[in-house]
Structures are given as structure tokens and as C-alpha cells.
Amino acid sequence: MATDPRYAPLFEPLRLGPVTAPNRFYQVPHCTGMGHALPRTLAAMRGMKAEGGWGVVCTEYCSIHPTSDDAPYPFAANWDDGDLANLAAMADAVHAHGALAGIELWHGGSYVANLASRVPAIGVRSMPGRTDPFQSQRMDRADIRRFRRWHRDAALRARAAGFDVVYVYPTHGYLVWEFLSRSLNDRGDEYGGSLENRARLFRELLEETRDAVGDRCAIATRFSANGHGDQHLGLDETRDLMAMLGELPDLWDLVLADYDEEMGSSRFVPEAALEDRIRDIRSLTRRPVVGVGRFTSPDTMLRQLRSGVLDFVGAARPSIADPFLPQKIRDGRVEDIRECIGCNICYAHNFRGVALRCTQNPTMGEEWRSGWHPERVPAGRGRVLVVGAGPAGLEAAHVLGKRGFEVALAEAGDAAGGRVTRESRLPGLAEWARVRDYRLGQLQRLPGVTLYLGNRLNAADVREFGADHVLIATGARWRRDGLGRWHARPIERLTGTVLTPDDVMDGVRPSGRVVVFDDDHYYMGPVLALLLARQGAEVCYVTTEGKAGDWSQYTAEQPRTQRELLEAGVEIVVNRALEGFDGRVARLGCVYSGRELECEAAAVVLVTSREPDDALFRELVGHEGEEDGSRITRVGDCRQPAIIAAAVYAGHKAARELGGELHRPPAARDRVIIAPGR
């Protein structure tokens, strides 16, 4: 199929030193939760990006030496020749589809504690690390020489593994950045003092990496376009450094120093948010530039090229949400793109030490383990009734329709989307509606799928329908009794105006002073507190944790969440649990001492936990539950209330496997196996 001429510039090749990228789609280095621990999983996932049309596909941060050990996070590793096979597997998977493979060589410096390798961390001076009670060892000249040798050796191994683009990484608080920092670098030798001296190590790595592999590999560097704050490397010095070193690498990968902004969630950061800052600095080099911006619109991507802001459209999250985004643009199927919603669930699971997953793309991380392809599903036949058109039901109907089943999708409400539709109306969550909109758009083009709105089915209706298979996806409702993480039993003495998130999303608007009790710790409590404050209520946000929206630290949202609440005038009370409410006074107990304080309130909103809405399922199968492979199956929140990504995954898995073997083999395990005799 011919490329839409409007988007032809996105598919023009571009030379990078000794190699040529086939197009302008560039998957920048991004974490995966796979790294050295799951090499087959990682290779298959990166290979899928190349198959989908990404012209350059890079690793995550790839440690060059045991002094750069970020355990328990599963980083990629390039410590010795034993890592070559794992690295080559990824490069080969990318090359199989005509793309370039990039590797981001990384040393964490003082940031890491080396919990697994148990060797001292090294840094420009002795400093505390990120979280653990360890400090780094101050590097002397011999340490610097050794580090330069480690980096060169890692670059040579990268070339041997087949990589085409090799990164030097002087940003985001890691070792080379420490040397650039005006505050951290207190050295009195040739590596400290002036900007030229502080940049000496960066220059040496660029030159030595080119000398080692530049005849075969392009040299890239990832660098902050807005400096690192005036105390470290201000914007003026950043511009001076770019002018000083601008022509040394073959590619500048321009980012921001602050992860929370560079890859901020859609709650706080819009598409193309980095554009002005990259434009400001890119004129200082004639080399190609790549940058990110959670690009989901082909027109926005095209604007980056035509305006000269970027030479490559960089992406991490959009390439996760839709590995085939470039191919769909090329084929004129823009309406088929699964747009990233910016929820950062991918990032969160890397920080939980497991393979990343995606709300929009349930096949992410399952390419090798389960053999799932994001664009292909096995054929099937039969008649299926799906009850509930929330995220699980919509995804199930979508996949079943693609497989060839005749599908009836019954929704009790007047609109599809379930919790996604309701939650997307809350502050900052509008882009989450893409979960619904993408699937509805796909269903409209599947002739075998019919959506019935305003159809609340009972057990007799389901039996009368006579489907070959029934998927119950009726969701869950927020509990009104306070049962949650802190309270294993309902809270006693709850009287007066006691509301749930469902009430607020249904339009109930309490006035006066409102206590929002958050024992859920993700986005719902803070978002509701913000909504009520903006509507004029005096809000006291109470949490059993020490920070507002504590779990959102994994999605890089917690600091902005807390700041947003404070700026909205919300009172934040931490380490307290709601122990009772009489309609006028809420009793708040300290989670450590049990001592209580009283808080006047006209209403309480309980954000604690959800009750599965599985009454229809129970009516159909009784309380014994279904057998494996049963004709009637529950999926999503009505089985296990969880994040939206889990509901979409559950709907996808049930639909993809429907009609298959009764006792399926378990998903493949990616692991290290000891060789015989070793």
C-alpha cells in the first residue's frame, strides 16, 4: 500500500555516521522490567517494534560493569562476553525487520547501591545513593582510567553483538552527569572546575567510543536540553557545552533532566511538551536530533520534522501502546492506531521489577511468553454473549470479532466504556477515554459484533440467548463501608453523608467541609479531592500512607499529585485512618499510635476498595464457581478489581483463548538454565 503523501517525510531514510536509519521513527531507550533477567522476552518485544516499522529500536539502560548494579531493577547488562548472546538476541530480532539496533551504555555512579554485586559504587565524590544507606567511593585518576576502559570494552562488545548505534549517557543523575555538575564536582584536577574540565570525561568517552566502534556504529548521546538546574548545569552552560561538543556524536537524543516532566503522565503533561526547549538548543549542532513528546498524532510528528525541531520522532510509551504505529501511518490506517493514554502503567511495572505492560496494548510483554502478536489473533467460530461494555468487555468483543466469532455485547447503561467513561470525566483523565474510543472504533468495522446499550440482562435473559460462550464483564463498585487495606472489617458508626467515588462520579456534590479518606493510594482519592476543591468544597484529604497518592510514585505522578492538591487548597493529613463519622465529626486514628483526633466534616468520601459486581455470574453458575474452560466465564473487575490495564488484559486473554484447549500449557518461562557440567 502506498504511503499517504502527507506523511512521506516520516518515511525518508537518514544517515547516522556509518549507518542509515530506514525512516524517522525512533524507539528511544526505555525501561522494560525485562533487562538481563528476561532476555528472550526482551528480544521478542523489541523485535515486534521493528516489525511494526520503527526504524531504530534501542535497549534500556545497559550497565557496563558490576560497579553499576541497579538491583532489584532488572536493567540490561553488558559486563563481559557472557552477556553477548543475550544482547545479540535483541539486535538480531531488530535486524530481522530491517531496523537499526541501538544500545544505551550506562553507569549509575553514586545513584546505585550495587546491592547484588556488592562492590563499592563510584562517583565524582562520596555521596549517598538514591534510597539505600550506602555512599559511593570518590574516584581518583586511576578509577577514571579504569572507567574509561570499561566503557570502551562495553562499546566493543556492543559492536560484536551487532548493535548499530552506541550511546554515551551523560544525564539523568548518573556517573558522567556527576562530573558535569557544578555542585557535585568539587575536584581540583583536570576533571573539575571549569566547564571544559567538568566536560572532559564526557568528551573522552565520545572520542574513545568513536575510535573503538565508529567505523561500524553510529555514536549517540542522551543529553538534557534544559540543563540540570542552575546548581548543577544551568541553561547557559548547557548551551556552551552543546556548542563545544555539538559535532562529536552522530546523534543527539535530547531529553529533560526531570523524568517527571520528560515522561510525565497525561494528567500533568500534554503531547509535545518538550518542543520549545528542544527547539531552543538544537540549533547548536548540525547533527541529527531525536526527542520525545508522547507523540500520538501523525500530524504532530510531521510538524516536528517540518519545523526543524527534530530529525527523528522519538517515542517510548507510544511505541509500547502500538508497536505498529509507523506501519499504520504508512498504510493509511491512522484510525487503527492504539494511542498512548499517558497513564505510565508501563513505567510503574518496571519499578515493580516485572515485565512492563500497557493499558492500551495487552500483548505487551507477552510476545515471547504467550506468543501473542498485537495485530494478529487466531481464527475462531461460534456465538458469544459478552455482558458489560467496560474495558474488559470492549476488549473481549473486539478480539472475538477479529477472530471471526458472532458477538453480542450487552451493556446495562446508556453508554459504553464502563469505568473508563466515568473516570475520564475526572480532572486530568480525559485521555483515558482513548481506551473506550479505540475499541468502539474497531467494533464499528467488525460486521460480526453488535452492541446493545440499555440492556440489563438477568440470568433468564442470558440462558434464553443461547450463546455458545458467555463472558461476564460487569465490573465492580466502590465499597461504602470502609473495608480496605487498613480496615479488614467495615468501619463501625458511619452515619450522615457517606459517599463513594461512584456517587461523586454520578454527580453527587457534597458541600461544606469534606473528608476524602484514601486507603487506595493511587489516583482516585487525590483526583476526587481536587475535583471537590475546584467545585468549592473545603477538602481534607486523609491517607493511611505518608504521602498523597503514594502508589503513584511508580507512575512518576506522586510529587505533582501532592503539589496540585496543596495548590488547590486541600488540607493533607497523612498516616491517619478514618475510624468513624457521626455526620458532623470524623474520627481519625494515627496508624502508629492509635491516638485519635477529631475533624469537623459535613460529608465523608470513602476511597477504600471495590466490591466485584458478580451477582449475574453467581446466579448463572451458583456459588461453586466455574470450571476451567467453562462456557460461562467472568473477566475483568467483576472477577478481580484492579487497574484498567488488568481489565483490558483479562478481556483480551479470555477472548484470544476462547474455544481453545481445555487444559492449556502454562506460559513459557524466561529464565537462566545452568548448563550441564557447570
The catalytic position among 61, 169, 174, 523 is 174
Per-residue confidence (pLDDT) for residue 630, from 0 to 100: 66
Per-residue pLDDT of 108-129, as tens digits, reads 999 999 999 999 999 999 999 9
In sequence order, which ranges of 14-106 are alpha helices (DSSP H)? 39-51, 84-95
Which residues touch 389 (CB under 8 Å, ≥6 apart)? 397, 409, 410, 411, 413, 416, 417, 418, 451, 453, 473
Sign of CA dihedral 437, 418, 643, 650: negative
Residue 272 has pLDDT above 70, yes or no: yes
User: Which residue would you say has higher pLDDT here, 5 or 587?
Assistant: 587
C-alpha cell at 550: 503514594
Q: What is the DSSP letter of 666?
A: P
Q: Which fold has domain 383-475+613-657?
A: Rossmann fold (3.40.50)
- Lowest pLDDT segment from 139-148, 308-317, 473-482, 656-665: 656-665
C-alpha cell at 22: 530506514
Residue 455 has pLDDT above 60, yes or no: yes
In sequence order, which ranges of 416-523 are alpha helices (DSSP H)? 419-423, 434-443, 459-465, 501-505
Q: Does domain 478-610 have CATH number 3.30.1360.200?
A: no
Task: State the Cα–Cα distance between residues 405 and 659, nearest whole angstrom.
Answer: 10
Give 267-289 as a DSSP string. Answer: TT--TTTTHHHHHHHHTT-SS-E
> Range(s) for CATH 3.50.50.60 in the chain?
478-610
In the predicted model, what is the mean pLDDT of residues 205-234? 92
Q: With pLDDT > 90 as the criterion, what percentage of the chain qualifies?
A: 89
C-alpha cell at 665: 500449557
Task: State the Cα–Cα distance between residues 246 and 233, nearest whole angstrom.
Answer: 16
Q: Which residues pair with 587 in a beta bridge?
A: 580, 598
Residue 654 has pLDDT above 70, yes or no: yes
Is the distance from CB of 79 to CB of 64 less than 8 angstroms?
yes
In the predicted model, what is the mean pLDDT of residues 132-160? 97
- Superfamily of domain 5-330+340-351 in the CATH hierarchy: Aldolase class I (3.20.20.70)
In the predicted model, what is the mean pLDDT of residues 592-601? 96
Q: How confident is the model at residue 626 (pLDDT cuts 50, 70, 90)?
A: low
Q: What is the CA radius of gyration of the chain?
A: 27
Is 174 in the active site?
A: yes
Burial 86-106 (b: 16+ CB within 10 A, else e): bbbbbbebbbebebbbbbbbb
> Range(s) for CATH 3.40.50.720 in the chain?
383-475+613-657
Give the residue among 418, 421, 449 at the shortest CA–CA distance from 434: 421
In the predicted model, what is the mean pLDDT of residues 620-627? 72
Task: State the Cα–Cα distance between residues 225 and 293, nearest whole angstrom.
Answer: 13
In the predicted model, what is the mean pLDDT of residues 490-496? 94
> Range(s) for CATH 3.20.20.70 in the chain?
5-330+340-351
Task: State the Cα–Cα distance between residues 10 and 468, nearest whole angstrom.
Answer: 46
Please classify residue 428 by burial: count the beta carbons closer than 10 Å to its beta carbon, then call 0-12 exposed, 13-18 middle and 19+ buried: buried
Per-residue confidence (pLDDT) for residue 677, from 0 to 100: 59
Per-residue confidence (pLDDT) for residue 662, from 0 to 100: 43
Task: State the Cα–Cα distance between residues 139 and 187, nearest whole angstrom.
Answer: 10
Q: With pLDDT > 70 as the criterion, what percentage of the chain qualifies?
A: 97
Q: How confident is the model at residue 623 (pLDDT cuts 50, 70, 90)?
A: low
Q: How confident is the model at residue 158 (pLDDT cuts 50, 70, 90)?
A: very high
Instruction: Report the chain's mean pLDDT, rounded to a whole number.
Output: 94
In sequence order, which ranges of 27-165 are alpha helices (DSSP H)? 39-51, 84-95, 141-161
Task: State the Cα–Cα distance between residues 366 and 45, nearest whole angstrom.
Answer: 8
Which residues touch 99 (CB under 8 Å, ≥6 apart)? 22, 49, 50, 54, 55, 56, 57
Give the residue among 486, 512, 488 at the shortest CA–CA distance from 499: 512
In the predicted model, what is the mean pLDDT of residues 29-50? 96
Per-residue confidence (pLDDT) for residue 661, from 0 to 100: 54
Q: How confident is the model at residue 1 (pLDDT cuts 50, 70, 90)?
A: low
Per-residue confidence (pLDDT) for residue 582, from 0 to 100: 96
Q: Which long-range contacts (CB under 8 A, 24 or more apart) does 380-384 make?
A: 380/404, 380/405, 380/658, 380/659, 381/405, 381/659, 382/406, 382/468, 382/469, 382/658, 382/659, 383/408, 383/466, 383/467, 383/468, 383/469, 384/408, 384/467, 384/468, 384/469, 384/470, 384/471, 384/658
Per-residue confidence (pLDDT) for residue 663, from 0 to 100: 46
- Lowest pLDDT segment from 201-215, 462-476, 621-635: 621-635
Per-residue pLDDT of 182-194, as tens digits, reads 999 999 999 999 9
